[in-house]
């Protein structure tokens, strides 16, 4: 049974604003990845706006540039709702999308691996407009009668802190799209600092590290989710539903990149041990008081992050990484790897803030 019902009132949504900010950061990273080799090629930053149409545009490039900005337009409308509506919000969203697209495209002038294009800007604006129209069509329903809003109001704690937690858990799901990482493995900083992988271990040692990494992160993520569920809310369903979604996303990454017989390639001996051991331990840990759950989640995240950085290169996924780093997946690969590297540190900070708030307001179950 869910927690006590709260009245459905149309008001500004911190969740929509958090999602919008997160998506803007994702666009910036995807547009400017790999952030290396910056140089002045002797071309003015905005010269591309009046340049001739690039001769090597593909249909895929056009589609990606349109679709990439559709969520931007929709989230921008939702972030400003209900303060701005109708033609006013459409104009504001289109103007902001124009500024963002033009500035990011201009920055690509200084990247040797990227090419600034006025066609890309036009596609970005088309995507922004489509997203804004979609956002305007669904805003009233989404903030008034949608099942998602009712689920949020009835089962999740009120306030911006819980909304930030929902965004954090959504980003965790996104980290699972990188099929080259260990199951639920996040926090590997070696790619960011160009450090080599850990020393080679015996197979049984590697399986142990993989199992501990999967199990610790499974419990930590589940406990993080439990911390934002309302008293009396569906804590167990929320925790195990999130873990199930994580497994579906991990499998989906393999569906995209691997042949049909390889879609469960992530199901290694270590991953299975971590799942089998982690699920009942998560069930037991969920019975702890809220403050203890927060502390345990932070400790497990720290431990799993250390293990990930000590582990050798994954012997199961070497060929997968070679495929994932090629072609049109280059930017997306960089994005998921960056999120995977930084996510546990953001999660630990979030858990500390929740624990500090818990101390200010007194004990709570």
Q: Concatenated DSSP letters for 80-124?
A: HTTTS-HHHHHHHHHHHHHHHHHHHHHHGGG-TT----HHHHHHH
Cα 65 to its chain centre, rounded Å, is 20
pLDDT of residue 317: 55
In this predicted structure, the answer to whether residue 8 has a pLDDT above a threshold of 70 is no
pLDDT of residue 7: 45
Burial of 299 (0-12, 13-18, 19+ CB in 10 A): middle
Using an 8 Å Cβ cutoff, are 311 and 150 in contact? no
pLDDT of residue 327: 42
Domain spans of the chain? 14-150, 158-361
In this predicted structure, the answer to whether residue 165 has a pLDDT above a threshold of 90 is yes
Distance CA 189, CA 280 (A): 30
Mean predicted confidence (pLDDT) in 279-308: 93
pLDDT of residue 329: 43
In this predicted structure, the answer to whether residue 11 has a pLDDT above a threshold of 70 is no
Q: Which residue has the tokens 């509506």?
A: 85
pLDDT of residue 326: 43
Position 191 confidence tier, pLDDT thresholds 50, 70, 90: low
Q: Say which residues have a Cβ less than 8 Å from residue 84's Cβ, sequence separation at least 6.
A: 92
pLDDT of residue 5: 46
Q: pLDDT, tens digit, for every residue of 230-258? A: 998 899 999 999 999 999 988 877 776 65
pLDDT of residue 294: 94
In this predicted structure, the answer to whether residue 72 has a pLDDT above a threshold of 90 is yes
User: In this prediction, what percent of the chain has a pLDDT beyond 90?
Assistant: 35
Average pLDDT of the chain is 81
Sign of the four-CA dihedral 115, 117, 122, 128:
positive
SS3 at position 68: coil
């Amino acid at each position: 049974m869910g927690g006590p019902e709260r009245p459905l009132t149309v008001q500004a949504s911190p969740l929509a604003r958090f999602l919008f900010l997160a998506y803007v950061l994702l666009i910036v990273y995807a547009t400017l990845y790999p952030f290396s080799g910056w140089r002045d090629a002797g071309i003015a930053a905005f010269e591309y706006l009046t340049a001739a149409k690039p001769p090597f545009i593909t249909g895929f490039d056009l589609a990606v540039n349109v679709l990439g900005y559709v969520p931007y337009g929709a989230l921008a409308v939702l972030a400003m709702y209900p303060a701005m509506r109708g033609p006013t919000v459409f104009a504001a969203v289109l103007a902001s999308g124009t500024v963002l697209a033009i500035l990011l495209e201009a920055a690509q002038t200084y990247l040797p691996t990227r090419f600034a294009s006025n066609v890309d800007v036009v596609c970005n604006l088309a995507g922004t407009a489509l997203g804004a129209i979609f956002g305007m069509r669904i805003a009233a329903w989404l903030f008034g009668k949608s099942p998602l809003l009712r689920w949020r109001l009835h089962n999740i704690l009120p306030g911006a802190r819980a909304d930030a937690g929902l965004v954090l858990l959504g980003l965790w799901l996104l980290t699972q799209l990188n099929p080259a990482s260990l199951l639920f493995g996040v926090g590997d900083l070696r790619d960011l600092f160009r450090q080599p992988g850990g020393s080679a271990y015996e197979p049984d040692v590697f399986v142990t590290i993989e199992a501990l990494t999967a199990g610790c992160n499974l419990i930590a993520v589940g406990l993080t989710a439990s911390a934002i569920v309302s008293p009396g809310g569906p804590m167990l369903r929320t925790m195990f539903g999130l873990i199930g979604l994580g497994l579906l996303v991990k499998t989906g990454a393999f569906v995209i990149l691997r042949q049909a017989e390889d879609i469960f390639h992530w199901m290694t001996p270590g991953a299975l041990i971590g799942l089998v051991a982690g699920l009942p331990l998560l069930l037991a840990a969920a019975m702890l008081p809220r403050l203890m759950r927060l502390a345990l989640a932070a400790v497990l995240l720290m431990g799993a992050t250390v293990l990930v950085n000590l582990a050798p290169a994954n012997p199961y996924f070497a060929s997968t990484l070679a495929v994932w780093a090629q072609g049109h997946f280059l930017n997306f690969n960089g994005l998921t790897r960056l999120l995977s590297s930084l996510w546990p540190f953001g999660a630990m900070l979030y858990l500390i803030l929740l624990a500090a708030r818990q101390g200010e307001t007194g004990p709570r179950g």
